[in-house]
Chain A
Amino acid sequence: DAGVTQSPTHLIKTRGQQVTLRCSPKSGHDTVSWYQQALGQGPQFIFQYYEEEERQRGNFPDRFSGHQFPNYSSELNVNALLLGDSALYLCASSLVGTGGSETFGSGTRLTVV
């Protein structure tokens, strides 16, 4: 049973570019959350998708957007990249109503130069 799968594992982009990160949830899960983890910090909540809609959002600008597909997989898009967007982006999946039991992916390491 595959866990949460994220792609790519590493990515280097130039300031001003756009990036798309992908996440496949654990089998049986229907909710996907995205987190940003800067170096030396704990992860910060970006947003959560359920039933193909953004359900909750953290304190991130509109440059950060997402999408959830009918198969529950999800994408995180970041436009107009800034150097400060360099971070590890983590995806976590869960099943709605299970009270917080999330499974995490290995993350995508984004470097903006």
Chain B
Amino acid sequence: KNEVEQSPQNLTAQEGEFITINCSYSVGISALHWLQQHPGGGIVSLFMLSSGKKKHGRLIATINIQEKHSSLHITASHPRDSAVYICAVFPNYGGSQGNLIFGKGTKLSVKP
């Protein structure tokens, strides 16, 4: 079982829809990243979270440390939001920080 699981793997939405992508992890963490990867490969960091909720424009990320779960929400989705969204965690091994562990990503396609 992967230490970081994302759902769904693929998501198709109509422009304007509210989108939720989920991430569950099985290790203790010091931080969680939500990343966006467009075709061609470059990765952009959207959020880094260690607790609570962050908002940037139409994007909202939440994390529940006790439940080891995070969600990424996109409000009023647009075709330019089409990309792969990746959840990645920094594991905390008894106070020693490990390196990023990535989920497999959620491929989002927003249709006009």
Give A residues with C-beta under 8 Å from B. 33, 35, 37, 40-45, 48, 56, 58, 88, 90, 92, 99-107, 109
Contacts and interface: CB of A to CB of B under 8 A. Distances in A.
A108 B31 CA distance: 26
B102 A99 contact: no
B22 interface: no
25 contacts: A33-B99, A33-B100, A35-B100, A37-B41, A41-B104, A42-B105, A43-B43, A43-B102, A45-B99, A56-B98, A56-B99, A90-B41, A92-B43, A92-B100, A99-B97, A100-B30, A100-B31, A101-B45, A102-B100, A103-B45, A104-B35, A104-B44, A105-B42, A106-B42, A107-B41
B103 A106 contact: no
Interface of B: 4, 30-31, 33, 35, 40-45, 48, 50, 86, 88, 90, 97-105
Given A35-B100, A99-B50, 18 more contacts: A33-B99, A35-B102, A41-B104, A42-B102, A42-B103, A42-B105, A43-B43, A43-B100, A45-B100, A58-B99, A99-B90, A100-B100, A101-B48, A104-B35, A104-B44, A106-B40, A106-B42, A109-B41
Contacts, number: 63
Contact of B97 (A33, A58, A100, A103): A100
